Chains A and B, each alone.
Chain A
Amino acid sequence: MTISTPSNSPPTDAASDPAIDLAVQDVVPESVDLAEEFESSGVREVMEELDKTLIGLAPVKQRIRETAALLLVDRARKRFGLAHSVPTLHMSFTGNPGTGKTTVALRMADLLHRLGYVRKGHLVTVTRDDLVGQYIGHTAPKTKDMIKKAMGGVLFIDEAYYLYRPENERDYGQEAIEILLQAMENDRDDLVVILAGYADRMDRFFNSNPGFRSRVAHHIDFPDYSDAELQQISELMVTEQNYEFSDKALTAMAEYINLRRKQSHFANARSIRNAIDRMRLRQANRLFQANAGPVGRKDLITLEEGDVRASRVFTGGLDSDAKPILPSAED
């Protein structure tokens, strides 16, 4: 389990402050400027950051924008004293490996916090072994413990389908599911649950647990990245780590992405991240071996074509390699 806290606290905790809420209800405003709300709640910042740092994922961004709009309008309605019920915000993220599900979940927690729908905005990431116990009576306290930790924030259940194991009828996963369902229903105001996993298995999971399907209002599908998007992502990652590609390395990288996609165990952005890590390794090694006098800043930050081309992907990839020299899964 990991707990991540939002990077910066939002400017408007006022939305969740009951004292201010009361004062607002006394004076019913004439009109509410939604654009102004959009600015002041800090939602715009989150959206802009989302656009800037998340490449591609158009349908995901669209859904997030819609959710944000709903929450903003809901907040405005509340000011007028119009009937409002807290919308169900439980979500399911489906998509292939490395398509940014966890990253978006973290942003989502921040966004919901800024809108005042979760009080703390921290993200608790759990998997099956954090929820399911080993013996009878162990599961309920474990699951409840995690729910308690996630209260006021977002509970992110990665690879949620592992909770349900129909092949073993004595599996305790079912117990965890029942407790989760109960919490998702009763503590809707305090807790947002996000389930994530690969699309086909999540479908099977929802089909065998209809309770989950009906309690999860938003199903968001994460598409695979296109080659151009992966190229952009690689450049972004390299820049974030204070490196840069030489021109030739850039072309090599484009080829690399194209080839890598056709090989086994392709995991979108994650594959790219791993590839870049290995390129850094090769670059360091090259600088060391070359031993050509003092190295400057330019040398230290540039990834050359050779660093990219040395990858096994260019010689047919993992499958064709008879003697694996590096114990790496993907190179």
Chain B
Amino acid sequence: MRITQGTFSFLPDFTDEQISAQVQYCLDNGWALNFEYTDDPHPRNTYWEMWGIPLFDIADAAGVMMELAACRKVHAGTNYIRMTAFDSSHGWESIRLSMITDRPAHEPGFMVERQEQAGRRIAYTTRAYVTTRPAGERYT
């Protein structure tokens, strides 16, 4: 099941050229790019691991793409990678754009667990199939 979160996630995966164009858009707006990765696809998992430190003071997308290439070298295939663009201007001081750039080749999806409670009430929870395996071995 394809994970859809962040911008453009209902579209086919972007090519490097398309990612680069988005990066340039962010840079032109004065936002700082940042790369993050995780192997836990649960939608409530909002805090992903940071790849290095946020990329401040970069003028051109090529510099950011260098960092993405370095991140991919380590994590592509075994992790989701997303880029986030941080707007530091007053009043925002927050993420303005978030987009998944890389995903594992096979995404098994989620199962629903039902828990019977007192008075025949049922509590539902979702669990990603991959998380039954330990972190770091989920998409190998």
Are B59 and A149 in contact, CB atoms less than 8 angstroms apart? yes
Chain A residues closer than 8 Å to B59, beta-carbon distance: 3, 5, 120, 122, 149, 151-153
Dominant SS among interface residues on chain B: helix
B57, A190: Cβ atoms closer than 8 Å: no
Q: How far in angstroms is the closest Cβ of chain B from A245?
A: 41
Contact in complex: A119, B63 (CB < 8 Å): no
| Cross-chain contact B61 with A148 (CB below 8 angstroms) | no
* Chain A residue contacts of B135, Cβ below 8 A: none
* A contacts with B: majority SS: loop
CB-nearest residue of chain B to A18: B17
The verdict on B95 contacting chain A, using a C-beta distance below 8 Å, is: no
Q: Report A175 CB to chain B, min CB distance, Å.
A: 17
Is A144 interfacial (CB 8 A cutoff)? Answer: yes
Instruction: Tell whether, in the assembled complex, residue A147 and residue B57 are in contact, meaning their CB atoms are under 8 Å apart.
Output: no
CB distance from B137 to the nearest CB of A (A): 28
B-contact bits for A1-39, CB 8 A (1 contact / 0 none): 001010000000000000000000000000000000000
Interface residues of A in 158-197 (CB under 8 A from B): 187, 190-191
CA distance A325 to B55 in the complex (A): 48
**Which residue of B57, B58, B62 contacts A187 across the interface (Cβ within 8 Å)?**
B62
Q: How far is the CA of A120 from the CA of B64 in the complex (A)?
A: 14
Interface members, chain A 91-123 (any B CB < 8 Å): 119-120, 122
CB distance from A22 to the nearest CB of B (A): 13
**Are B57 and A151 in contact (CB-based, < 8 A)?**
no
Q: Decide if B66 is an interface residue (CB 8 Å cutoff).
A: yes
Q: Which residues of the partner chain B approach A147 to less than 8 Å between Cβ atoms? A: 63, 66
- Give chain B residues whose Cβ lies under 8 Å from the Cβ of A120: 59-60
Residues of A within 8 A of B58 (CB): 148-149, 151
How distant is A26 from chain B, measured CB to nearest CB, in Å?
Answer: 19
Chain B hits for A150, CB < 8 A: 63
Quick one: which of A3, A5, A120, A150 has the most chain B CB within 10 A?
A120
Whether B61 contacts A152 by the Cβ 8 Å rule is yes
> CA–CA, A122 to B61, complex, Å?
13
- Residues of A close to B64: CB separation below 8 A: 148
Q: Which residue of A lies closest to B52 (CB)?
A: A141
Q: How far is the CB of A181 from chain B (nearest CB, A)?
A: 16
A273 to B55, CA, bound (A): 37
Q: Which residues of B contact A191 (CB under 8 A)?
A: 62
Closest to B21 in A: A18
B29, chain A: closest CB distance, angstroms: 15
Residues 280-293 of A, flagged 1 when their CB comes within 8 A of B and 0 if not, give: 00000000000000
Question: CB distance B60 to A153 under 8 Å?
Answer: yes
In the complex, which residue of chain A has the Cβ closest to the Cβ of B57? A149
Q: What's the nearest-Cβ distance from chain B to residue A285, in Å?
A: 41
Complex: A147 Cα to B62 Cα, angstroms: 10
| B positions within 8 Å CB-CB of A | 55, 57-64, 66-67
* Contact sample, A vs B, 20 pairs, CB 8 Å cutoff: A3-B57, A3-B59, A119-B60, A119-B62, A144-B66, A148-B58, A148-B63, A148-B64, A149-B58, A149-B59, A149-B63, A151-B58, A151-B59, A151-B62, A151-B63, A151-B66, A153-B59, A187-B66, A190-B62, A191-B62
Which residues of A line the B interface, CB within 8 A? 3, 5, 119-120, 122, 144, 147-153, 187, 190-191
Q: Which 10 A-B pairs have the closest CB atoms?
A: A152-B60, A148-B63, A151-B63, A151-B62, A190-B62, A151-B60, A120-B59, A120-B60, A122-B59, A149-B57
